[in-house]
Amino acid sequence: MTRTIRLAAVSLVAIPLIAATLEDPPLRGYSADASKVQREWEAKFRAIPEPSRIRENLRLLSARPNHLGSAYQKENATRVRDLFRSYGWQAEIEEYSVLFPTPKERVLEMVAPTKFVARIDEPVLKEDPTSGQKAEQLPTYNSYSGDGDVTAPLVYVNYGTPADYDELDKRGISVRGAIVIARYGGSWRGIKPKVAYEHGAVGCLIYSDPKDDGYAQGEVYPAGPWRPKDGVQRGSVMDMPVYPGDPLTPGVGATKDAKRLDIKDAVTIMKIPVMPISYADAQPLLAAMTGPVAPESWRGGLPLTYRIGPGAARVHLKLSFNWNQTPLYNVIAKLPGSTWADEWVMRGNHMDGWVNGASDPLSGLVAELEEARALGEIYKQGWRPKRTIVYMAWDGEEHGLIGSTEWAEHHGDELQQKAVMYLNTDGNGRGFLSAEGSHYLENLVNAVARDVTDPETGGTVWKRWQAAVIARGDAKAKGEARGGRADLRIAALGSGSDYTPFIQHLGIPTLNLGFGGEGGGGVYHSIYDSFTWYSRFADTTFTYGRALAQTVGTVIMRTANADVLPYQFDNLAETARGYAAELKALRDAEAAKIAEVNRQHDEGVFTAMNDPWNPLQPPQREVNAPIIEFARLDNSLDSLTRAAQRYERMQATAIIQNLGAVALGQANALLRTADQEMLLAEGLPRRPWFKHSLYAPGLYTGYGVKTMPGAREALDSHDWATANRELIRISGALDKEAALIHKAATVLERKSVVP
Amino acid sequence: MTRTIRLAAVSLVAIPLIAATLEDPPLRGYSADASKVQREWEAKFRAIPEPSRIRENLRLLSARPNHLGSAYQKENATRVRDLFRSYGWQAEIEEYSVLFPTPKERVLEMVAPTKFVARIDEPVLKEDPTSGQKAEQLPTYNSYSGDGDVTAPLVYVNYGTPADYDELDKRGISVRGAIVIARYGGSWRGIKPKVAYEHGAVGCLIYSDPKDDGYAQGEVYPAGPWRPKDGVQRGSVMDMPVYPGDPLTPGVGATKDAKRLDIKDAVTIMKIPVMPISYADAQPLLAAMTGPVAPESWRGGLPLTYRIGPGAARVHLKLSFNWNQTPLYNVIAKLPGSTWADEWVMRGNHMDGWVNGASDPLSGLVAELEEARALGEIYKQGWRPKRTIVYMAWDGEEHGLIGSTEWAEHHGDELQQKAVMYLNTDGNGRGFLSAEGSHYLENLVNAVARDVTDPETGGTVWKRWQAAVIARGDAKAKGEARGGRADLRIAALGSGSDYTPFIQHLGIPTLNLGFGGEGGGGVYHSIYDSFTWYSRFADTTFTYGRALAQTVGTVIMRTANADVLPYQFDNLAETARGYAAELKALRDAEAAKIAEVNRQHDEGVFTAMNDPWNPLQPPQREVNAPIIEFARLDNSLDSLTRAAQRYERMQATAIIQNLGAVALGQANALLRTADQEMLLAEGLPRRPWFKHSLYAPGLYTGYGVKTMPGAREALDSHDWATANRELIRISGALDKEAALIHKAATVLERKSVVP
């Protein structure tokens, strides 16, 4: 087909499109007739979920500690499987065996200038019955900490990010041989011991500062929702930005007979002892410190002078662990597809908490269960998904996305053949929809958000989302939200929940959804994340649990039954262009920083600024930044944009109406590889498990995303040669994506007959 | 003279100018010969000041409490007068009688939910001998607070600025009938009770939060320099932005027989009781409060949840004062001029502290005394100032710039006839030169700063100043400091020290200079601002005392002996253009804010964003901002720029060399009115005492300057009609300034003969 003919085809379909918008606009990927039927079923579905059932499931599932390896988690797996079955689904438990360290010995004491033994235990509260289940609770610890027994001076490192170590360097302070104390925040917790270890520290304490997570934020539990003085944020410190999942089975499923690394060879286990503590335990340590006063942005909310050390305060930290293999139970439930049973629309939420886990993760899981019930109901009423719907409940998320990662690695080939989407949720709350994922799904999320009612305002979820962007965004974001762009933007996926193996290792089209942003609190990963806390301070009416079930279920149904998968590549191309612009700006900003430092050296500014009472080391001179090669990337982005535009013209409902089953199958088979085409075969520099060219958690942010990560992290670290090399790899991935989209467009063009 | 001839004259003088720069460039306003002689005397002068003498004078003058009305302040006045005389100066004490309230009764107690009686007293420290001089110390209070006896609920208002009340409005919280508690900072203290009163509050507490001024900043006194828990910042709350000085004698000197207002008619006395307290006294009050949690930027450093109230906490505040007339003693010292005795180069620093006042003000006064000694020394060696040098030591500054204001009002006509400069200093410390003042003096300050050595780095004071701008400034400031602009910028004068009556009421050319920015501490206006504190934590070697004496003395000498006063109007014109650009940007920013709020109302954003658990009131709709008339101002700025450029061509040394005494006298007589021409006869809106069209303390910032204040404050408050009217008045003032500069240029042109 020539260009002229194609344009003619477009102008011919314009009339029915406009006509259609006079009533309900047809759904993307649906013929007009199918669209009408689909809307009716979606509306029936959304009428079913009930807050009272969501509440009851939350109460039941959070009734006892349910961490990986616990008796109650095994019970819950059976309970969840049976619930799925009771809703009419096929459901099974799939078991793995994973390395899971639990504490054998935990000692933290200050030995100088005075003696202080840390409590390292969260007290039972009479107001919260499950807080007293001491025998079943995991104690306060960081999983995948190293064993160790060290006594050393303390150095306060703020959030413990690489930038914080630059501040230490300025003051000529080293952490070599020291135990660092870092506050939670500023990065994912696992970054703190990793960076400390890289700088020579022998131990790491992480505490919750009351400024960020305690009384400064509001009334503490049980009077209010915020973290009490003895509350501790447990958490994994596995080096997940290198690879998540069982440290002994990278890249393969941790089946009973999988080949396993020796523990000493598992690079994702921390090399030094790491321990989370409360602010009540941190206060005497911080108060005893000497050395320079911490810079203003480092100061927390304790009533003391924050000092950097090292100096008077010395602590003894002794940790040892039982390095046991533990059984892990995932639940996998299916509602079989009627037409394309081998295309899977997947959705998961984890099932394991750190302790009782009412908010994290069960508030999300109970929405998933209510969706499953509602889908089962309409199935009984005659609705049939064209594609197979697969719902999952993961175990072991808290310790390193283990259940999802092992399952994804185990079934990787099958998933890359069959999966058309993985939709993730985790803990849920009151407020605004937040959405992250593959950007060709952005349009789908926007469309669904316009069809769901917000419980608090009675407007649509989309309207509230739009209001938040207008109220909080910068001028560009405001303008887009006001109609300068058809869709509100979804964010890129970093890490922090079970979507990671799907998007970043396998290249499955992925979304992560949830409500939040109102209320708040500080019981995360503590014994106080309980049903009592959740039903007093979070989504107390469970109407946002219902809203989540309605939103997610609608996305799942719409994807399951679309004739052509409802992907929209314009937004992907435009978003990728934005990333390229950011990389250019990043290069220029880093170049300007280097040049400025060098110039200030030449000018004698550092010498003239020096305060002899508080001397600072000037930053190092550095070779000036070269110009980076962006032309290849720009060409690839041009190709991608043209491909997306061409594909978009073929998405018209009138065209879909005329496509036969073979063509649809061909088109869908191409489309579902849309993220796989953007994978890099060798993965990212220093971490081959992470393969996506556009999205990864930062090596030094942990959860926070780095887009076009190979190039961006090279620019961050002034590794200009790697940046140039990675830009070529990213360009190659985008070229493949453009070629795929052209192929899909060609299928639609060849097979379509203009009405 | 025609334009052509004038240009020819300039090109002819170009050669000697360039030749001159090959050796020492001649000083502005000096002939080449005079310049050489002047430089030699200046160098001799700068070699004289001795840190040990500065230290000894500081010890002596701060040995006992020396507030207005105290026995020791009277002794110090005599001592200072006698020191001037011993240095060879004529010196007299000039006495006024002023209203000065001191506490009769002070009660602060919490009456609900629990009883707590505030300490309202600073403890004696054995490490600081003068802290024990209880009998002579003023207690902790705010002078010019109203009398009152109130019991009311507390409302926390953050810094108590108008913007903070917008946050209260959002939450639907009123202070009507309440006692507000505000923290120090964010504005001058007197703004806090004034705004509270305007909103209906019946009392005001002001406390020092440890985040801003206490342990969060560093070790507290006596272990370190920062404010201890019981330390209190005393201070005046007189409504000085309306008029400073004795509240009973606005506009006239408070001589014994001056006409006085009734106390009830003095608008600058606060109408409600106001009391400063320590953070130890504030903590139980804040901890007892209920109501909404304060927004993040409102939270201080106490270990509690900052709440806004009103609620459980009720306090009883009872204050009464002795409203007495008190004698006030200024010292006025003169070194008579040899040529133009009726042209006065003036310099002052206040002499009264709140208690012992070692840092504030005596660290500045002892530099002044050492300058006076050094000037006396070179006088004995044969140096003669051409103009009369007048040095002042003020009383009553702490309570409302009283000594300086009464003297300036008393001698206003004479000063407007004679003064060619008023140079002010106040407390001094280690670090960087800071300079504020009339912008035609900017070039002079830069020139002198290049001739003084910085004690810590051994470079020039100018080099360190430049380094600070490069290190801390934005891109524009960096570029200018690196040579994009010949002179570093001096700031505009707001208020907070004795320069105010000179620049803002009389239009005397004014500078305020001081060193600081290193070290720091928290003893301001407490009994701990002592010689012990200063000599342990501030300019411990007293070398910055010497640097201040060297810098100020050089400015004074160079001004005293210039043939033509060393003013440079290019910088004034360029600075005024900058203010105009800021006003335009302010109008556009306010217009955009109003439009945005209105648009969000139309879009339903506020409704969609509302959290029913924490409901917020949307901001009010407002009529959109009109376009403001800036053309008249732009024309005046063009005129001013052309006048400045013309004058600059006549400043050539070769021209000055050829001017006779009559011409010089005529030129100088014009030049010294350069600020008077910019006065507004009727003064500023709502405060006629403040007459300068370019500089004033903000009505709602207190110390912080508002440039082009009439127009700027109207724009701030969306009073567009007043903004238009004030812009015309400012334009008129600038037109007069341009005319004056043209006149001065004409004198130089007419009288000059090209060599």
> Are A464 and B608 within 8 A, CB to CB?
yes
User: Min CA distance, A308 vs chain B (Å)?
Assistant: 12
A 10 A CB-CB count for B120 gives: 20
The CA-CA-CA angle for residues A420, A424, A428, to 5°, reads 155
Note whether A148 and A283 are same-domain residues: yes
Please name the member of B470, B519, B609 whose beta carbon is closest to the beta carbon of A603: B470
- Report the pLDDT value the prediction gives residue B654, as an integer from 0 to 100: 64
Write the pLDDT tens digit of every residue in B193-228. 999 999 999 999 999 999 999 999 999 999 999 999
Cα separation, A91 vs A83, in Å, equals 9
- Report the pLDDT value the prediction gives residue B755, as an integer from 0 to 100: 36
B223 touches chain A (CB under 8 A): no
A753 exposed, middle or buried (CB, 10 Å; 0-12, 13-18, 19+)? exposed
Q: Residue B552, Cα to own-chain centre: how many angstroms?
A: 17
Q: Give the domain CATH number at B300.
A: 3.50.30.30
Q: Return the structure tokens found at A102.
A: 């639990």
> Are B608 and A457 within 8 A, CB to CB?
yes
- Report the pLDDT value the prediction gives residue B702, as an integer from 0 to 100: 86
Q: Return the structure tokens found at B631.
A: 């053309």
Percentage, residues of chain A above pLDDT 90: 92
The CA-CA-CA angle for residues B384, B385, B387, to 5°, reads 145
Instruction: From residue B407, give the alpha-carbon distance in Å to each of B245, B362, B396, B418, B447.
Output: 10, 20, 11, 15, 31
> Are A299 and B216 within 8 A, CB to CB?
yes
Q: What is the mean predicted confidence (pLDDT) over B376-404?
A: 98
H-run or E-run covering A133? none
Between A19 and B96, name the one with better pLDDT: B96
Q: Which residues of A touch B464 (CB under 8 A)?
A: 608-609
A466 inside domain: no
User: Min CA distance, B306 vs chain A (Å)?
Assistant: 7
pLDDT beyond 60 at A335: yes
B614 touches chain A (CB under 8 A): yes
- Report the pLDDT value the prediction gives residue A671, as an integer from 0 to 100: 97
pLDDT beyond 70 at A301: yes
Q: Is the peptide bond before B113 cis (omega within 30 degrees of 0)?
A: yes
Note whether A75 and A223 are same-domain residues: no
- Report the pLDDT value the prediction gives residue A749, as an integer from 0 to 100: 83
Write the pLDDT tens digit of every residue in A195-233. 999 999 999 999 999 999 999 999 999 999 999 999 999
B43 exposed, middle or buried (CB, 10 Å; 0-12, 13-18, 19+)? exposed
- Report the pLDDT value the prediction gives residue A23, as an integer from 0 to 100: 60
Write the pLDDT tens digit of every residue in B109-131. 999 999 999 999 999 999 999 99
| Closest by Cα among A247, A234, A228 to A138 | A234
Using an 8 Å Cβ cutoff, are A258 and A249 in contact?
A: yes
Amino acid at A219: E
pLDDT beyond 70 at B610: yes
- Report the pLDDT value the prediction gives residue A751, as an integer from 0 to 100: 62
pLDDT beyond 60 at A514: yes
B592 touches chain A (CB under 8 A): no
Between A663 and A349, name the one with better pLDDT: A349
A495 inside domain: no
> Are A470 and B603 within 8 A, CB to CB?
yes
- Report the pLDDT value the prediction gives residue B752, as an integer from 0 to 100: 52
What Rg, from alpha-carbon coordinates, does chain B have?
27
pLDDT beyond 80 at A483: yes
- Report the pLDDT value the prediction gives residue B658, as an integer from 0 to 100: 79
> A289, A296, A432, A457: best mutation site toward chain B, by most B Cβ within 10 Å?
A457
A525 inside domain: yes
> A305, A465, A488, A540: best mutation site toward chain B, by most B Cβ within 10 Å?
A305
| Closest by Cα among B527, B232, B128 to B354 | B527
Beta strands B203-207 and B340-350: pairing type?
unpaired
> For residues A60, A65, A70 and A71, what is the CA-based torsion angle, rounded to 10 degrees?
-40
Write the pLDDT tens digit of every residue in A338-364. 999 999 999 999 999 999 999 999 999
Using an 8 Å Cβ cutoff, are B683 and B689 in contact?
A: yes
A471 touches chain B (CB under 8 A): yes
Indicate the residue among A325, A359, A386 that finishes a domain.
A325
Q: Which residues of A touch B593 (CB under 8 A)?
A: none
Q: What is the mean predicted confidence (pLDDT) over A506-512?
A: 98
- Report the pLDDT value the prediction gives residue B649, as an integer from 0 to 100: 86
* Mean pLDDT, chain B, integer: 95
Note whether A65 and A125 are same-domain residues: no
Note whether B83 and B144 are same-domain residues: no
- Report the pLDDT value the prediction gives residue B8, as an integer from 0 to 100: 33
B59 inside domain: no
H-run or E-run covering B293? none
Using an 8 Å Cβ cutoff, are B560 and B386 in contact?
A: yes
* 3-state secondary structure labels for all residues of B56-86: HHHHHHCCCCCCCCCHHHHHHHHHHHHHHHH
Using an 8 Å Cβ cutoff, are B561 and B270 in contact?
A: no
Cα separation, B186 vs B158, in Å, equals 9
Using an 8 Å Cβ cutoff, are B537 and B519 in contact?
A: yes
> Are A215 and B610 within 8 A, CB to CB?
no
Under DSSP, the state recorded for B453 is B
B76 exposed, middle or buried (CB, 10 Å; 0-12, 13-18, 19+)? buried
Q: Is the peptide bond before B101 cis (omega within 30 degrees of 0)?
A: no
Using an 8 Å Cβ cutoff, are A654 and A17 in contact?
A: yes
Q: What is the mean predicted confidence (pLDDT) over B152-169?
A: 98
> Are A608 and B467 within 8 A, CB to CB?
yes
Note whether A183 and A249 are same-domain residues: yes
Cα separation, B172 vs B615, in Å, equals 9
Write the pLDDT tens digit of every residue in B304-330. 999 999 988 999 999 999 999 999 999
> Are A218 and B293 within 8 A, CB to CB?
yes
B630 inside domain: yes
> Are B614 and A464 within 8 A, CB to CB?
no
Note whether B386 and B491 are same-domain residues: yes
Q: What is the ipTM of this complex?
A: 0.92
B252 inside domain: yes
pLDDT beyond 50 at B345: yes
Q: Give the domain CATH number at B337.
A: 3.40.630.10
A456 touches chain B (CB under 8 A): yes
A17 inside domain: no
Under DSSP, the state recorded for B124 is P
Bridge partners of residue A105, in order along the sequence:
A320
A 10 A CB-CB count for A754 gives: 13
Write the pLDDT tens digit of every residue in B81-95. 999 999 999 999 999
> Are B305 and A518 within 8 A, CB to CB?
no
> Are B463 and A604 within 8 A, CB to CB?
yes
- Report the pLDDT value the prediction gives residue B674, as an integer from 0 to 100: 98
B196 inside domain: yes
A27-31, A54-58, A738-742: range with lowest mean pLDDT = A27-31
Percentage, residues of chain B above pLDDT 70: 96
Q: Which residues of B touch A460 (CB under 8 A)?
A: none
Q: Which residues of B touch A619 (CB under 8 A)?
A: none
Please name the member of B216, B299, B609 whose beta carbon is closest to the beta carbon of A305: B216
Amino acid at A128: D
B219 touches chain A (CB under 8 A): yes
Q: Which residues of A touch B454 (CB under 8 A)?
A: 608
Query: What would the DSSP string read from start to end of B253-286?
Result: ---TT-----GGG-TTS-SS-EEEE-HHHHHHHH
> For residues B709, B713, B716 and B720, what is the CA-based torsion angle, rounded to 10 degrees?
-110
Q: Which residues of B touch A604 (CB under 8 A)?
A: 459, 463, 467
User: In sequence order, which residues have a C-beta less than 8 Å from that of residue B390 and are 6 or more positions away?
Assistant: B332, B333, B334, B344, B345, B346, B347
Q: What is the mean predicted confidence (pLDDT) over B376-393?
A: 98
Note whether B152 and B247 are same-domain residues: yes
Q: Residue B22, Cα to own-chain centre: how many angstroms?
A: 39
Amino acid at B52: S
Write the pLDDT tens digit of every residue in B565-608. 999 999 999 999 999 999 999 999 999 999 999 999 999 999 99
Cα dihedral sign for B290, B296, B298, B304? positive
pLDDT beyond 70 at B477: yes
Q: Which domain holds residue B722?
A: 569-751
Note whether A67 and A213 are same-domain residues: no
Query: Rounded to 5 degrees, what are φ and ψ at B614?
Result: -135, 65
Q: How many CB pairs under 8 A join A and B?
A: 111
Indicate the residue among A273, A293, A325 that finishes a domain.
A325
A43 touches chain B (CB under 8 A): no
**Matching residue, tokens 């400012």:** B730
pLDDT beyond 80 at A374: yes
- Report the pLDDT value the prediction gives residue B21, as an integer from 0 to 100: 41
Note whether A342 and A405 are same-domain residues: yes
B297 touches chain A (CB under 8 A): no
> Are B608 and A219 within 8 A, CB to CB?
no
Q: Please count the structural domains in chain A.
A: 3
Instruction: From residue B702, give the alpha-carbon distance in Å to each of A693, B244, B428, B435, B698.
Output: 56, 11, 21, 19, 5
pLDDT beyond 80 at A19: no
Residue B677: which pLDDT band, with cuts at 50, 70 and 90?
very high
Query: Rounded to 5 degrees, what are φ and ψ at B598?
Result: -60, -40
- Report the pLDDT value the prediction gives residue A371, as an integer from 0 to 100: 98
Note whether A312 and A360 are same-domain residues: no
> B537, B605, B610: best mutation site toward chain A, by most A Cβ within 10 Å?
B605
B127 exposed, middle or buried (CB, 10 Å; 0-12, 13-18, 19+)? middle
Cα separation, B544 vs B535, in Å, equals 12
User: Min CA distance, B209 vs chain A (Å)?
Assistant: 11
- Report the pLDDT value the prediction gives residue B661, as an integer from 0 to 100: 85
Bridge partners of residue A91, in order along the sequence:
A333
Q: Return the structure tokens found at A527.
A: 């014994």
Cα separation, B315 vs B115, in Å, equals 9
Note whether A631 and A535 are same-domain residues: no
Note whether A193 and A288 are same-domain residues: yes
Indicate the residue among B325, B347, B375 that finishes a domain.
B325
